[in-house]
Structure 1
Amino acid sequence: MTLVQDKTKSVRLEAHDAPYHIGAVTLRVRDLPKLTAYYRDAIGLKLLREAPGVSELGAGGTVLVRLVEGAARPTSAAGLFHLAILLPSRHDLANWLRHAAETGIRLEGASDHLVSEALYLSDPEGNGIEIYRDRTRPEWPRRPDGGIAMATERLDLDRLLSEADGGTYVGMPEGTGMGHVHLRVGDTAAAEAFYRDLLGFDLMVRYPGASFLASGGYHHHIAGNIWGSRGAGPRGAGEAGLDSFEIVAQDAADFAAMRERILAAGGEETDGAPSIADPWRNRLVLVR
């Protein structure tokens, strides 16, 4: 039987061509064995490390999703809208779609965003997941003012599926990374004030009810919307869903600059890892 092989190991992800990008996303879960199996078998990540109460899954040896057992209460209106796993190529996205079709994984949406092509689903505990591929930066359309143009258009799944390999799916390829996190927030102006004005991310695009921010000219590393969370207050301790996400600094100078911003904004530092929570208690951790 033919195995689906990775053909794109040398491709650099557009999301990671920036001073800062998103690293591992940590989720607080109720049923650790069930969620571990889902991210391994359905999503296609490899189980990299396992310890009592914790599973770490990723691709190419890099942790992308960390599952922590012990959700004490349901998630509130604010929190994670979706984590977004970025594949190296359209070919890889086609292979994942074939895997989903053959194994009965239920999709909740599929969109062409002009800068990217994306598939949407949720894990068994309701955490949103986007699996996507980027077009190259020269292909991104521009608005008359020079800004990036994004939209939500129909993705032709039949055409995408026609580009897939045959054979057994062997998981997400080396070179897969975390592309962005999309959050549910109570107010987009407050999200912009925190992520842009305090932490220094650039505002890239505004949709009705949503703001998209990034580092290094990417279309978005962090997004916040109020589509189901307008006016939401801070999350409670021990909620299911998002626990934290990593901001990965490209080099020592970038790390130092973001560390200074985090501490100046009231963050804290534990064992050399600066961290801060946004107004809804979504916590980010700065790493190298």
Structure 2
Amino acid sequence: MPLSLLDTAPYSVATVTLTVRDLAGLAGFYRDALGLELVSVEGHVVRLGVGAMVLLELRHEPSARSWDPREAGLFHTAFLLPSRGDLGAWLAHAAERGLRLSGAADHLVSEAVYLNDPEGNGIEVYVDRPSSEWPRAEGGTVIMRNDPLDHAGLRRAAPGPWTGMPAGGRVGHVHLQVGALEPADRFYTGLLGFDVMCRYPGATFLGAGGYHHQLATNVWNSRDAGVRPAGMAGLAEVTLHADAATLARVQARAGDPPNGEAGEALVLHDPWGTRLRLQPAASLAKTAEAGRAYTGPALG
């Protein structure tokens, strides 16, 4: 499989961490609905992914307050599939499982389907078009739209039934809810160094290395939201892999150590308290000790 822009970009999304109230229920949902594999269980933390690669970490906090969709936090975690046929197979799987989809669109750069997990965390399942086909605006940014999705064409492209998240499946991007776009731009472009790849009414799509977006921000539901209070379910952390030069530049801009935390990873918080962990790109996967006792509820 040829390298994509994500493979050569200075940033990529490694892991999304959610605080959840029903650990068994959420773990079962992501395994059944998206075909993620159980990578490890450690205490009250379940890690799911593909092979040894952790894409999603679930932290059990049964007393956590339910997230209000008007607050800052997660809009969706976007799972990128390797091929159009994979998305077609997943669409058939979603129909067979009776999954309730919340939307679907052809964004010109990608084809995407949307749903929510049982605790209201947004999910996108998508496939990219070849970057050579992405429509460009003057200045090199990309043009994105919400055109109707070709469901029938995708289903025809499926090579067979869905058998789980395919090798090469990954978190392609994370879309965040923020209180205002201007301070979000200052943080994500000024401090982290992302490029604005597309502006859409109420949203900014932020890319690195020419990719349409590894991160996005919007105020569609959360305009004027304040800092997220502690003890809330939903997004806990986004882990990004960054190349050495990018990590050094962010470190220099942020100071050492930002937010009182030191070590190999650089931990930052955006203006609404969303926690971002920047790790060297060589840290390819999180693994845990096999056989450690699980002390939470049964996973089924």
TM-score (norm 2): 0.88
Deviation at 1:166, TM superposition (A): 3.3
2:193 is aligned to 200
Find out whether 1:29 has 2:35 as its counterpart.
no
1:269 is aligned to 261
How many percent of aligned residue pairs carry the same amino acid? 51
1:20 is aligned to 11
5+ unaligned residues in a row in structure 2: which ranges?
281-300
2:228 is aligned to 235
CA distance in 2, matches of 1:37, 1:205: 35
Superposed counterparts of 1:206-225, under 5 Å = 206-225=199-218
Q: Which moved more, 1:194-203 or 1:138-147?
A: 138-147
For 2:198, give the aligned amino acid: V
User: How many residue pairs align between the two structures?
Assistant: 277
2:135 is aligned to 141
Deviation at 1:202, TM superposition (A): 0.8
For 1:36, give the aligned amino acid: A
Distance 1:272 1:65, change over 3 A: same
For 1:47, give the aligned amino acid: L
CA distance in 1, matches of 2:202, 2:184: 11
Find out whether 1:285 has 2:290 as its counterpart.
no
What secondary structure does 1:57 align onto?
A: strand
Instruction: Choose the corresponding residue for 1:187, options 175, 180, 190.
Output: 180
Instruction: Choose the corresponding residue for 1:128, options 117, 122, 127.
Output: 122
1:249 is aligned to 242
For 1:220, give the aligned amino acid: H
For 2:53, give the aligned amino acid: T
CA distance in 1, matches of 2:86, 2:157: 9
Instruction: Choose the corresponding residue for 2:250, options 251, 254, 258.
Output: 258
1:110 is aligned to 104
For 2:165, give the aligned amino acid: M
Instruction: Choose the corresponding residue for 1:68, options 42, 59, 66.
Output: 59
CA distance in 1, matches of 2:49, 2:254: 27
Instruction: Choose the corresponding residue for 2:75, options 74, 81, 98.
Output: 81
What secondary structure does 2:255 align onto?
A: helix
Find out whether 1:93 has 2:84 as its counterpart.
no
CA distance in 1, matches of 2:94, 2:168: 20
Instruction: Choose the corresponding residue for 1:48, options 34, 39, 50.
Output: 39
CA RMSD of aligned residues (A): 1.6
Deviation at 1:258, TM superposition (A): 2.8
CA distance in 2, matches of 1:48, 1:263: 35
5+ unaligned residues in a row in structure 1: which ranges?
1-9
Q: Assess if the C-alpha contact under 8 Å between 1:98 and 1:161 holds in 2.
A: yes
For 2:103, give the aligned amino acid: G
Deviation at 1:13, TM superposition (A): 4.2
CA distance in 1, matches of 2:138, 2:242: 32
For 2:210, give the aligned amino acid: G
Runs of 4 or more above 4 Å deviation: none
Instruction: Choose the corresponding residue for 2:144, options 138, 146, 150.
Output: 150
Distance 1:235 1:35, change over 3 A: same
Distance 1:13 1:62, change over 3 A: farther
For 1:163, give the aligned amino acid: A
Q: Assess if the C-alpha contact under 8 Å between 1:12 and 1:88 holds in 2.
A: no
What secondary structure does 1:143 align onto?
A: coil
CA distance in 1, matches of 2:211, 2:260: 27
What secondary structure does 2:85 align onto?
A: helix
CA distance in 2, matches of 1:238, 1:270: 24
Distance 1:66 1:262, change over 3 A: farther
Distance 1:265 1:117, change over 3 A: farther
